[in-house]
């Protein structure tokens, strides 16, 4: 505070000299100094900040910057390092003399060289004063009696479990032990006399008789492959059965019931037949077209559809599940009919039936369902 009171006259003189040189209007706008509170260093900094503020407000104003005193620096001595305690390393020595003795002496000397202190005492590792321990006297063997000294045949006695051979076997073993080691002789056993074993030659094994050769079959029917198309496969299988019956005989075959042949399903027979001309009727009857049969399975052969057609459930047989459950179906073309556009069938006389393969069912709320063209039955 004394330094502040000493600097205040100088501050007033500096302000008094600077104010006449500056415009009154600009200097009047400068904030008045209020630097009475605080120390002399803070008051000096406050006056300098006021001069900088006036310079920023009045560019032509020449500030008078004061040199503020520095803060007193205390004499702080640097910290002295604290000496750390010297720690020796742990050494594990072998439990053997004199190697373990030398190991402990070396570890003690290394600790003294590292950390200092009182001179240690080392162990005496010489082996001159070591005397070998006298061996323990062995006990004198005790004399054995004659009964213990003599031992019969080692191991248990095994006699055949056949009478009377086992009776003689036990007596012979006891007699041999009595003859070897002395003692009373065993009493004679009451064993039945031994009968000589009746040895017979083994009967020769019978020679194997070769099995009679299987006679070759008298007649074999030729293998016939039929086309997988209805009703051609029906005609083909019936013709193959008749040919086999005519060639090899035997039981008369049971033929399948095939639909009547149409001009498109006539096949050439293997037998040469002279055609007999029939009189031409005035109005020949025309058979209505039918759908080809397909599907089947299990007990009967599976019938496929020609190329361009697909096998579906017969819509004209209520309750039929068709090929899905190994039942027969019908072959129809894969061209779409019906639907939202109302496509018509190409062949006159065909009707558009629902396609059972899709999820659209007109009987269960479906509308504009697509279908397939089939001949009505």
Two tokens at 37? 């509170």
What percent of the chain shows pLDDT beyond 90? 5
Mean per-residue pLDDT for 100-126? Answer: 90
CA distance 196 to 291: 95
- Predicted confidence (pLDDT) at residue 203 exceeds the cutoff of 50: yes
Tell me if 377 sits within 8 A of 290, measured CB to CB.
Answer: yes
- Residue 68: other Cβ atoms inside 10 A: 15
Read off φ and ψ for residue 370, nearest 5 degrees: -80, 150
What local confidence, expressed as pLDDT, does residue 18 receive? Answer: 43
Helices (H) and strands (E) in the chain, counts: 7, 6
Q: How far is CA 36 from CA 2, 19, 69, 231, in A?
A: 12, 21, 17, 128
**Out of 80-94, 112-126, 252-266, 335-349, least confident range:** 252-266
Instruction: Establish whether the linkage from the previous residue to 281 is cis, with ω within 30° of 0.
Output: no
CA distance 330 to 352: 14
CA distance 50 to 34: 9
| Helix (H) or strand (E) run with residue 338 in it | strand 336-338
Confidence of residue 325 (pLDDT cuts 50, 70, 90): confident
Pairing of strands 309-312, 370-374: unpaired
318: left (phi over 0), alpha (psi -120 to 50) or beta: beta
- Predicted confidence (pLDDT) at residue 66 exceeds the cutoff of 50: yes
241: left (phi over 0), alpha (psi -120 to 50) or beta: alpha
């Amino acid at each position: 505070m004394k330094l502040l009171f000493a600097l205040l006259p100088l501050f007033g003189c500096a302000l008094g000299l600077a104010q006449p040189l500056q415009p009154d209007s600009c200097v009047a706008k400068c904030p008045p100094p209020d630097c009475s509170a605080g120390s002399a260093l803070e008051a000096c900094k406050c006056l300098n900040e006021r001069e900088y503020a006036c310079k920023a407000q009045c560019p032509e104003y020449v500030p008078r910057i004061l040199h503020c005193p520095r803060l007193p620096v205390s004499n702080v001595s640097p910290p002295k390092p604290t000496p750390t305690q010297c720690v020796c390393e742990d050494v594990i020595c072998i439990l053997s003399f004199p190697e373990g003795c030398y190991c402990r002496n070396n570890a003690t000397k290394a600790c003294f060289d590292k950390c200092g202190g009182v001179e240690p005492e080392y162990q005496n590792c010489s082996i001159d004063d070591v005397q070998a321990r006298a061996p323990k006297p062995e006990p004198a063997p005790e004399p054995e009696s004659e009964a213990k000294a003599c031992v019969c045949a080692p191991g248990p006695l095994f006699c055949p479990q056949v009478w009377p051979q086992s009776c003689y076997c036990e007596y012979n073993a006891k007699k041999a032990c009595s003859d070897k080691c002395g003692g009373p002789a065993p009493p004679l056993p009451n064993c039945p006399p031994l009968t000589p074993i009746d040895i017979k030659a083994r009967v020769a094994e019978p020679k194997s008789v070769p099995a009679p050769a299987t006679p070759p079959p008298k007649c074999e029917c030729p293998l016939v492959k039929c086309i997988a198309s209805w009703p051609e496969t029906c005609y083909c299988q019936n013709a193959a059965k008749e040919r086999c019956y005519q060639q090899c005989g035997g039981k008369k075959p049971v033929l399948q019931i095939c639909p009547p042949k149409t001009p498109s399903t006539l096949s050439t027979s293997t037998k040469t037949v002279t055609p007999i001309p029939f009189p031409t009727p005035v109005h020949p009857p025309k058979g209505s077209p039918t759908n080809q049969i397909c599907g089947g399975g299990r007990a009967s052969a599976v019938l496929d559809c020609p190329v361009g057609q697909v096998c579906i459930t017969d819509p004209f047989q209520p309750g039929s599940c068709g090929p899905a459950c190994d039942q027969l179906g019908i072959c129809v073309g894969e061209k779409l009919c019906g639907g939202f556009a109302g496509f018509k069938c190409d062949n006159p006389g065909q009707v558009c039936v629902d396609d059972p393969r899709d999820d659209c069912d007109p009987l269960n709320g479906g509308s504009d369902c697509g279908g397939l063209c089939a001949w009505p039955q």
